[in-house]
Amino acid sequence: MLNNALLFLLQTVLDIFTLLFLLRFYFQVTRVSFQNQAAQMVVSLTNFAVLPMRRVMKLVRNLGVAKFDLSTLLLAYITQLLLTVLSLWLKDFPLLIAGNSVWPTILALALLGIISMSVTIFLYAVLIQAILSWVNPHTPIAPVLNNLTHPILRLLRKHIPPAGNVDLSPLIFMIAAQLLLRTVLMPLENNLFAML
Which residues does residue 163 pair with via DSSP β-bridges, in sequence order? 166
The 10s digit of each residue's pLDDT in 25-44 is: 999 999 998 888 989 999 99
State residue 108's pLDDT score. 96
**Confidence band (pLDDT; 50, 70, 90) for 92?**
confident
Identify which has the larger pLDDT, 162 or 79: 79
Q: Say if residue 54's pLDDT is above 60.
A: yes
The 10s digit of each residue's pLDDT in 95-108 is: 878 778 899 999 99
Share of the chain above pLDDT 90, in %: 63
DSSP string, 1-70: -HHHHHHHHHHHHHHHHHHHHHHHHHHHHTT--TTSHHHHHHHHHHHHHHHHHHHHHHHTGGGG--SS-T
Q: Which of 63, 55, 23 is nearest to 145 (CA)?
A: 23
State residue 62's pLDDT score. 54
State residue 161's pLDDT score. 86
Q: 26-40, 59-73, 80-94, 169-183 — which is least confidently predicted?
A: 59-73
**What is the pLDDT averaged over residues 159-179?**
91
Q: Say if residue 63's pLDDT is above 80.
A: no
State residue 74's pLDDT score. 93
The 10s digit of each residue's pLDDT in 122-148 is: 999 999 999 998 898 888 899 999 999
